[in-house]
Amino acid sequence: MISYILNFGWLEDLVTKLLVSFGIDMETRLGGSVHFFFYDVIKILILLSLMIFFISYLRSYFSVEKTKKILEKMGGFRSHIVASLLGTVTPFCSCSSVPLFIGFIEGGIPLGVTFSFLITSPIVNEAAFIILMGTFGVKVAILYALAGITVGVVGGYLIHILKLERYIEEYVYKVKMGQTDIKKITRRERIEFAKENVKETVSKIWIYLLVGIGIGAVIHGWAPEDLLVRYAGPENPFGVLVATVIAIPLYSNAMGTIPIAEALINKGVGIGTALAFMMATTALSFPEMVLLKKVVKIKLIMIFIGIVGTGILIVGYLFNYFL
Amino acid sequence: MKIEILGTGCKKCKELYERTLEAVKIEGIDAEVIKEEDIVKIIEAGLMSTPGLRVDGKVVSYGKVPKVDEIRKYLK
């Protein structure tokens, strides 16, 4: 019963009933596609709005400033784990990547630890987590989050071991960061923050969602299953590689790629392939690189792509193999 | 009064700029509203999360786009 509610079995039945009452035959391709479209749109919107609200409320207890304070006091491998974990919960917009980077480095946080935060932050966020949960279930969502954290910890640690500090732009070290007080937030402000976040996330991703679900619906009805299984199925050793490489220049929202991933998986594409694609679109996005270019030299960005890309590949293969 | 919008030019910074102009207009005060997009200056102001709002040299808000009413309070 709980899984019927959590996995939206009720909505599936409801949409079927409604479509049938409008005289749409569920056995046809069109019927299947239309059902997929409405079911997915409604499900994702409900999930998103509700859960983003609650998670944002919790997130309001974290801030970039507090995260910096915590990491400044820490050292060793442990700090990579903490940075990565904080990356998942600290409210942070990718447009603040540059000031955050400079602020962390200025505060004496090692480059690798800073990267542990920056890698995990876009991969694991509440919206991606929620949609994954609604689409593939709790287990996959948790595994995805764990994988994202692991890629951040290991990736950041490798950057640390390789001692790449020389690739940071020199002006970064010269900047002296000013002081700002960490503001006390009232409960009303937290609720306001959560509401704003729901509005912002939904308004930012609805178009990706519609397009993503639309494409997903077409794949659902029309994509040739045998072909997909052959080229992108879990058996094909290059599936994950191709998916990851395709994802890099593709600037989409992770949320928009999930419905496509779902449809592809239903058609026999490996789940690891689909998740690798999703991780790569978020973690290795082109606009993010352009921002990073302001603070680090191109060589470090290349190494970053190499390390994170490899991590994502491994995750993809592991998921394909074990799930 | 000197009001600065601290941000590297993302969408939220523009939104904050618009809202600040509106708040200034409602309050009817004589203020100079400037966009500060230099990343070094932003860091020196102590900001890690943008956009930020600085009124007469004091950072009053950062990491979010406050509502017009809230901005008005900062201008008083």
**Contact yes or no for A223/A263 (Cβ under 8 A):** yes
Nearest residue of chain A to residue B9 (CA atoms): A95
pLDDT at A84 over 90: yes
3-state helix, strand, coil in chain B (%, to 5): 40, 25, 35
> Please, which residues bridge with residue B5 across strands?
B35, B53
**Contact yes or no for A292/A302 (Cβ under 8 A):** no
Cα(A254)–Cα(A148) distance, rounded to whole angstroms? 13
Measure CA of the first residue to CA of the last residue in chain B; give whole Å. 10
Amino acid code (one letter) for A193: F
> Please, which residues bridge with residue A130 across strands?
none
Among the partner-chain residues B39, B59, B64, the one whose CB lies closest to the CB of A294 is B39
Angle at A282 (CA atoms; ends A149, A106), nearest 5 degrees: 65
Residues written for chain A:
323
Angle at which helices A111-123 and A97-106 cross, to 10°: 150
Cα(A5)–Cα(A10) distance, rounded to whole angstroms? 6
pLDDT at A253 over 70: no
pLDDT per residue as tens digits for the range A151-171: 999 999 999 999 999 999 988
Give the domain CATH number at B12. Answer: 3.40.30.10
Host H or E run for residue A247: helix A239-247
Which is higher by pLDDT, A69 or A261?
A: A69
pLDDT at A230 over 70: no
Q: How sure is the predictor about A223, in pLDDT bands with cuts at 50, 70 and 90? A: low
Q: What is the pLDDT of residue A2?
A: 65
pLDDT at A232 over 80: no
Q: What is the pLDDT of residue A163?
A: 93
pLDDT at A225 over 70: no
On whether any CB of chain A is under 8 Å from the CB of B43, the answer is yes
Structural domains in chain B (count): 1
E-assigned strand segments in B1-76:
2-6, 32-36, 52-55, 58-62
Q: How sure is the predictor about A147, in pLDDT bands with cuts at 50, 70 and 90? A: very high
When mean pLDDT is compared across A5-19, A87-101, A109-123, A226-240, the lowest value belongs to A226-240
- Tell me the nearest-neighbour CA distance from B24 into chain A, angstroms: 23
ipTM of the complex: 0.85
Q: What is the pLDDT of residue A13?
A: 83
What range defines the domain where residue B47 resides? 2-75
Q: What is the pLDDT of residue A10?
A: 81
A96: which chain B residues are within 8 Å (Cβ-Cβ)? Answer: 48-50, 63
pTM of the full structure? 0.81
Long-range contacts of A316-319 (CB under 8 A, 24+ apart): A316/A240, A316/A243, A316/A244, A316/A270, A316/A272, A316/A273, A316/A275, A316/A276, A316/A279, A317/A240, A317/A272, A318/A147, A318/A272, A319/A143, A319/A147, A319/A270, A319/A271, A319/A272, A319/A275, A319/A276
**Contact yes or no for A229/A268 (Cβ under 8 A):** yes
Write the DSSP symbol of residue B57: T
Among the partner-chain residues A64, A95, A99, the one whose CB lies closest to the CB of B43 is A99
In this structure, what are the phi and psi dihedrals at residue B59, rounded to the nearest 5 degrees?
Answer: -75, 120
pLDDT per residue as tens digits for the range B29-70: 888 899 988 888 888 888 888 889 999 988 888 888 888 988
pLDDT at A65 over 80: yes
- Tell me the nearest-neighbour CA distance from B74 into chain A, angstroms: 14
Which is higher by pLDDT, A273 or A156?
A: A156
When mean pLDDT is compared across A122-126, A227-231, A241-245, the lowest value belongs to A227-231
Burial A215-252 (b: 16+ CB within 10 A, else e): bbbbbbbebeeeebbeebbbebeebbbebbbebbeeeb
Q: What is the pLDDT of residue B26?
A: 92
**Beta-strand pair B58-62/B2-6:** unpaired
E-assigned strand segments in chain A:
none
In this structure, what are the phi and psi dihedrals at residue A180, rounded to the nearest 5 degrees?
Answer: -130, 145
Average pLDDT, chain A: 83
Host H or E run for residue A94: none
